[in-house]
Amino acid sequence: MQFYIDPGTGSMLFTILVGVMGAGIYALRNVFIKLRFLLNGGKKDTVSKNKIPFVIFTDSKRYWNVFEPICEELEKRGQKAVYMTASPDDPALQRKFENVRCEFIGEGNRAFAKLNLLNAEIVLSSTPGLDVYQWKRSKDVKWYVHIPHAASDISGYRMFGTDYYDTVLLSGEYQVRQIRELERLRNLPAKELPLVGITYMDEMKKRLENAPALPPHPTTVLLGPSWGASSILNRYGKEIFEALLQTGYHIIVRPHPQSRTSEKEMLDALMKAYPDSPQLEWNYDNDNFEVLRRADILISDFSGVIFDFALVFDKPVIYADTSFDKAPYDACWLEEEMWTFTVLPKIGQQLTKEHLPAIKDLIDECMNDPRYQAGREAARSETWEHMGQAAVRTVDYLMEKQKQLREQTECAEVR
C-alpha cells in the first residue's frame, strides 16, 4: 500500500520533526553542561563562552545589499560577527573580512534547523516570521533584531511577520505607529523600534552619485512587479505586455525573485509568449542598480522597488490598480490605510485596465509632469530618515544593546 503526503503536510511534519529533535538536542546539551560544571568542581564553565557576539542571517543572496554596509561597519570597528546565508552563491561568500566570517548554512529547513539551535548574543535578520514558521527562537540567543529590506509599510509582511522579534529597525515614524498598533491589537510586549534609516538605499545613492553618465538610449520602460495574487503580472497578464510593446519603447521586465518559486507556471507562460527580443528583455540580475539606472520610468504595483526608483533615482513611476487584497498581510489588522497607497498618488500616475490602450500617452505625461517631484521629496522625508547614516546607526544600536545584555547578565550572576 502506498501513501501520498502533499507538500504542505510534508513541510509541517518536517517542522514538527525538527522541533522534537531540537528539543531533544537542547535537553542533552543542558545535561552535558551541568555535568561539566560539576566535574569542574562547581567552577563557572558555561555555554556563554562559546556565544557568537553578532549573527546576521539572510534567507536569500538578494539581501546582501542590506547587510553589506553593516558587515563593513562591523569590520571597520573590529567587531566579531558571523554572516549566515541560505544561498550557496551569496556574494558575501566571496568577501574576505578579518572580523566577519561569512558561511553558507544550507538551504530551506536545513538552515532553520541550525538557527533553531544557535548560540549567540544578538541575531540580526531581514527574514520575517520568526517563531511563526520553521524558524524558532533559540533558547541560547539573547536578542533578535529585524531589519526591513524595503522603504515601505512594515505591515506589508505576511501575517505576524515581526511579532516575535525583540527589536525592529525602522526608517519612518509611520512604521512605528503600525507596529505599536499591532502590538496593542495582539497584546504583544512592546518592541524596541529605533529609527536608523535604510542601509541599501544609502549605498545606492552613493553609487548613483559616482556613476558615469548614461549614453544616449531609447526611452526605456521597466516593468517591475511584486508577486502574489494582487501583483500586476497576475492581474494584467498578457494585456500589459501587448500594450507596452505597442508603445515602441524599449521594455525591461524584471519579475520579483519570489515569482520564480511561487508562481513559476505563470511566469514561464509569459516568458514563452514574450521571449527576449530587441525591444523586450527579461532581467534577473541579483543587483538591480544598473537596470534601475537605465530605466526612464517604472511601472509596478505595490512593490518596494517603487521607492528605490522614485526616491533614490528621482524618476517617475506608474502604479497599477490591482485591487490589493490585504487579507494575508499584517495590514489587514489595521484600520489606517497603508502608507504605500497614500503616497503613490503623490509620486506617480495610476494605471487601470481602461488606460492600457493609451499607455504611451500615460507614460509620456508622467515623465514630463513636474508635480511629482514635490511628491517624491515629501515621500523621501517620511520613509528615509537619517539618510546616509543607516549602517553607522545600526551598528551603534547593536553594540549598545550588546553592552546592555552583558550588564544584565553580570547583575544576574551577582545575585
Alpha helices in 159-262 (DSSP H): 173-186, 199-210, 232-236, 238-246, 259-262
Q: Which pLDDT does position 21 carry in this prediction?
A: 55
Picking from 342, 312, 338, 302, the residue whose alpha carbon sits closest to that of residue 153 is 338
Q: Which pLDDT does position 10 carry in this prediction?
A: 47
Q: Which pLDDT does position 20 carry in this prediction?
A: 54
Q: Which pLDDT does position 257 carry in this prediction?
A: 82
| CA pair distance 74, 288, nearest whole angstrom | 25
Which contiguous run of DSSP H or E holds residue 75?
Answer: helix 64-76
What are the CA-CA distances from residue 50 to residues 53, 58, 83 (Å)? 9, 22, 16
φ and ψ of 319, to 5 deg:
-115, 135
Mean pLDDT comparison of 139-143, 265-269, 366-370, highest-scoring range = 139-143
List of residues 6+ apart from 413 with CB closer than 8 A:
none
Task: Compute the average pLDDT of residues 44-70.
Answer: 87
Which residue is it, cell 489587514? 332
Is 70 exceeded by the pLDDT of residue 317?
Answer: yes
Picking from 408, 406, 388, the residue whose alpha carbon sits closest to that of residue 171 is 388
83-137 pLDDT, tens digit per residue, is: 999 999 999 999 999 999 999 999 999 999 999 999 999 999 999 999 998 999 9
List of residues 6+ apart from 386 with CB closer than 8 A:
171, 195, 196, 197, 393
